[in-house]
Amino acid sequence: MSKKYTGWIAILVIVSIVIIDQVSKIWVKTSMSLLETIEITSWFKIYFIENNGMAFGMEIINKLFLTIFRIVAIGFIGYFLHFLVKKKYPVGYIVFVALIWAGAFGNIIDCVFYGEIFSASYPGHVASFVPIGEGYSSWMHGKVVDMLYFPLFEGHFPEWFPVNGGEKFIFFSPIFNIADSAITVGIFVILLFYRKTLLASLESKKND
């Protein structure tokens, strides 16, 4: 397949994921109050939360540093993706790298812009768009909107279980968004099916 068509496929994947991700986040942000839940099935719920951290709600490093790190990361991934298209790597491999880039970019939008363009979300109050500068935070300090929750089943650890004995557990407990899903799927598939291609492309880029 030519570079032109491979490039357009990558662009289509990126645009599609970013649009779906942002539409879902904006709908949740402007339709639901923080911690509000919509039950789709017993094992799938729309549960609105916001976080300052990385994928699946983890919070381990400074917010501003994380946002800058994300911007630098999508710059490197974008440059690498351009290299893959130029060198005519397999379309499947390029598609999954594009998924990772799109997911990272989707969450970057939240971090960079949401604090400036939305009012705050909190329990019992639905946020709305506001004039730039009147939002709940400043540039680069926006919170990432998460909403996909799959509590597949619940139970209790056995009493004899170390540390958490007798406590309740939920599987699967993380709450995430479309962007997180794109990143996770992209990384998982590449490591599972394109590991050799990944190593070869990294080596080729190093020697380019």
pLDDT digits (tens, 9 = 90+) for 38-62: 999 989 999 999 987 655 445 555 6
12, 8, 7, 20: which is closest to 109 by C-alpha? Answer: 20
Helix (H) or strand (E) holding 170: strand 168-171
123, 122, 120: which is closest to 134 by C-alpha? Answer: 120
DSSP assignment string, 36-83:
-EEEEETTEEEEEEEESSSGGG---S-HHHHHHHHHHHHHHHHHHHHH
According to the model, what pLDDT value does residue 56 have? 47
In this prediction, what percent of the chain has a pLDDT beyond 70?
94
User: Between 126 and 5, whose confidence is greater?
Assistant: 126
Considering 47-61, 98-112, 161-175, the range whose residues carry the highest mean pLDDT is 98-112
pLDDT 10s digits, 63-83: 778 788 889 999 999 999 999
The residues carrying an active-site annotation are: 146, 180
180, 168, 173, 178: which is closest to 151 by C-alpha? Answer: 173
Domains in the chain: boundaries: 3-29+50-149+175-207
Rounded CA separation 139/198 (Å): 35
Helix (H) or strand (E) holding 110: none
Looking at the predicted structure, is the pLDDT value of residue 173 above 90? no
According to the model, what pLDDT value does residue 1 have? 65
Looking at the predicted structure, is the pLDDT value of residue 153 above 50? yes
